[in-house]
Every structure is written in structure tokens, then in C-alpha cells.
Amino acid sequence: MNAPKTADGYAILRNPRTNKGTAFTLEERRALGVEGLLPPMPSSLEHQVARILGELDQVEGDLNKYLILSDLQARNERLFYAVIMSDPATYMPIVYTPTVGEACQKFDHIFRAARGIYLPITAKGRVKELLSNWPVEDVRFIVVTDGERILGLGDLGVGGMGIPIGKLALYTACAGVPPEVCLPVTIDVGTENEELLDDPLYLGLRQRRVRDEEYHAFIDEFVRAAQDLFPRSCIQWEDFANRNAVPILERYRDAICTYNDDIQGTAAIALAGMYGALRITGGKLVDQRFLFLGAGSAATGIAELIAQAMVLEGLDIDEARQRTILFDVNGLVTANRDDIAPFQRPFAIQHEPIGTFVEAIRSLRPTGIIGVSTVPKLFDQTVIETMSELNERPIIFPYSNPTSRSECTAEEVYRWSKGKAVFASGSPFGPVEIEGERFVPGQGNNVYIFPAMGMAIYATEARRVTQEMFIVAAQAVAEQVREDHLAEGLIYPPQSEILDASLHVARRVAERIYDDGLASVPRPDDIATQIKAKAYQPSYQR
């Protein structure tokens, strides 16, 4: 058998960061040794984008479109981002929520090219060795999951890798963080999902989840290895179960540059929604009372950030926390309950037990309700009508995602409230018309926060991520909502403008980083120019 000859040109076509596909010029083809390996007539990037968009238009089903884009990302990275950035409002829901949820559920059956780093607990003691196999030395962002609580879908094991991949794609597409500095990671400590354990195609460890000391020791090993290999990196924790998400954040938040998007990013986008809603309803944040359906890490993260924002408006922290009230599967979270976790206790109130959510609304008279339960349809007609009876403009935020887990739909809220509600959701809903009036529902999507946070950290090389940075991010999102948006009920900037919105948020957060002395680079005269200069643009001229 003949030995294969060295094929540098062929390798260039198989590397998504060097491949231009049909856009290689005739001169480049000769110089790189790819002449004859491509159709003879070169294309422009614009023509390539048009070709992909045409292909996507012919495909039925968002999961199939997700797979086309995933394959494109694996073969031509610049073309992938050019497609996404050509129409972010259309393609973000395909590369991330809600479509990524289905992709994670079917991960083992649709697996194609490997992407990112997998760290199984069977490799304990060798995590640094595995991480060092990543071909890029200057990693700035690591998004990591252990797959236990993927969106509202539960334990998906290694199938959760779709989340870090999707998140990092949005770091680039929405805020210009260069893709080469991003690393998706999945920590595999097993799964409790019986269907996965019984599935012969499952790609993860076939064992029950490791817990407690052994689990946290493995997390420690990962953090140490990441810090040793990538000392300028920021770690974003993603879709960890409550039992691990909160202690992991508490352990590392003051030691390294890190944050948890489910806790802090969700909190910031919810707070941004509050600021936007108050521009419609009137009043101050400190005058509001919010009731949460769900009491996990997302709920307490939102509640704590709202409370801290209230403190900035003059309220005592304890009093502020009493205005962010939790309700879970066992009813109102009260101080006399013995089944609440330590992270929930600051929000427990002195009150008689209440067993139904509607009863809690009637008793506590909140100005807004926030759904983070991941249980669909819990904001039923009675809930919405009760909120509308108590408030001239009730704030209704069903934030659970994907769409199948939303506490209600936009159409239900606008119809049951007779158009009075100020609405935002975690999943996308289309415009709604009620009695001749058009409403545009806002999506309280973390995409307004984490990519911008990433760009601010990248530009400043921040050493830490603070709660105050998330409050600034929330304010920066809300201040971009125009009056014509508010007139239609929209309380977030349009997703079609996500890049400009993210760069604005990044500038405001970077200013705070410099003000707090957390940057590792000198403060420039013009922060906006600094950030714009660092922002990635999908171009073959790079």
C-alpha cells in the first residue's frame, strides 16, 4: 500500500480556522497547495453566506438547521459566524435556546465532530494532562458544565456539551469575543438519567453521579489545572444543579475570575427587565415587591441582585430581601420551614404557611411575578387575572426555558390581562395582537449579558467578576430600550441589534472594572474604541 504524502493544503481545508472553502483566491490556491481540491471558480464570503442561507431556507425543522450550522462551524468558522451575525434574531434561537435543548437531548444520536474538552472523573489526577491537549495556549474563556441540570430538561450527562458550545458561539456572534480564545468543557461524573444509562449509543460514563467530597475534589483539580494552563482565563459555570452551583460559586468567586451565568447572568437580565418594565409602569425599584415561582439558584440569584440594586437606591439589605419572596413546591418559603437550604434562608419571611401560588399573590400583593420553576403552565388564567386585579400594570416574567418549560405563553398573558401586563419570557414568543393592539414580547435572554460580560473581561483582562458588574450590565441593557420599543411592550433591545447592544454593555462594564481597579491592562483614553478594536469580525482578511 502506498504511504500517504504530506498534504499541508488538504489540512488547511480541514481546519475550520484556516479554511475559506471556495473563497480561496486563485493565487492562494497555488501558494497553499489546494489548487484542484476545490471547484475552479472562487466565491466571495457574501456569496458563501447566501448559499448557506438558501440551504437553511430549504430545510424543515430547527434541529436540522442546527445540525447544518454545527457542521459549518466544524469546517469553516468564519463563514459560520458570518451567517449567524447576518441575522442574529433568526439564528440565535437555532444555535442556542430553544433548539439547543433538543440537540442536547439527542446528543448521542446526532454526534458528529468532537468539539471542546471532555473531563471524565475516571481521569482524576490527570486533568491537566487532558486539558493540555487543547491546541490553543491563550484561552480566555472556559464555559463548563457537568450536565446535571441542562436548561429545564434535567440530567443529560455528556449531552450537556451543547450548552458550552452554544454559549461560546454567542460570546463571539453577539459581542465579538474572538472564537479562538474560547474553550467549551464538559465534566463527566456520571448521570442519574436511566434512559441514558440504558442507551447503547450514550457517549458518557455509564455510572451513577459521583457526589460530595470526591466530586468537589475533582472540581478543584479542574480549576487548578485551568489556572495553571490558562492563567488569563475566566471560568463560566453553566447548568450545574443547585446542590453544586451555589457552593462552587461561593468557593471560587473571590479567588479567581469566575461567574455562574445561571445565577448571576439570569439575575442581571431579570433586573434589566425590571428597569425596563418600570419605564412603562412608573415607580422606583425600591417600591416593588416580587414573588418568585421557584426557589432554586436562579431564583435566589435574581432575588439577591434585585435586593442589592434596591440597596443602591437606599434600602437596607434585609428589608430589600423581604421584597423578593420565594414560593416553591412546598409553598411559601417562610422562616419557620425546616426544609429550606442555606442559600434560600436570607429570603425566608415571617409569615403563615401558604400552599397555593394564587393565595400567595392575594396575601402578599406583589407588583411582579417571576417564573423560574421549569414547570410549564403554572402561570394559569387565575394567576394572571389575580395579578391584573391587584395591579394596573402587572409585571409577568415566565423565565423558564426552553419554550416547552415556560410557565405561560405571551398570548395567554396578554389575553388574560386584557393587554395590561408587562411581559418578558425566557424563551422566544412572536408578536401578539389583542383587540387590535399589537404587543411585542421581550425575551429575557442572558444573551444580553454574558457575551458583553465576556467582552468586557477580555478587553480589560479583569481579575475578578463582581456583583456590581452585573448591576451595571443590567442598567446598560435597560437604557438602550427606546420609547418606540416601550410603546409595543418591548422592554429589551431588539435581538436584531444585539452586537451594538452588547458592545454598549461591555463598555459600561469595562468602565466599572477600571474604576474598581480590577483590570490587568492600563485604562485607555477611549474604552469604547478599545473594545471595538478587539471585537471579532468574520472576514477572510483577518
**Which active-site residues does the annotation give?**
96, 167
Amino acid residing at 218 = F
Burial class (CB in 10 A: 0-12, 13-18, 19+), 521: exposed
| Cell numbers linked to 285 | 425599584
Strands (E), 207-303: 234-237, 258-260, 290-293
Largest CA distance in the chain: 82
Secondary structure class of 169 (helix, strand, coil): helix
C-alpha cell at position 169: 458561539
Residue from 289, 211, 223, 279 nearest 251 by CA: 223
Question: Omega into 98 within 30° of 0, i.e. cis?
Answer: yes
Is the separation of the CB atoms in 470 and 268 below 8 Å? yes
Distance CA 26, CA 351 (A): 76
Nearest CA among 211, 196, 216 for reference residue 104 = 196
- For the four alpha carbons of 76, 81, 86 and 90, in that order, the dihedral sign comes to positive
What is the Cα–Cα distance from 266 to 272, expressed in whole angstroms? Answer: 10
Task: Give the C-alpha separation, 374 to 355, whole Å.
Answer: 19
Closest to 149 measured CA to CA, from 244, 269, 253 = 244
Rounded to whole angstroms, the Cα distance separating 24 from 34 reads 9
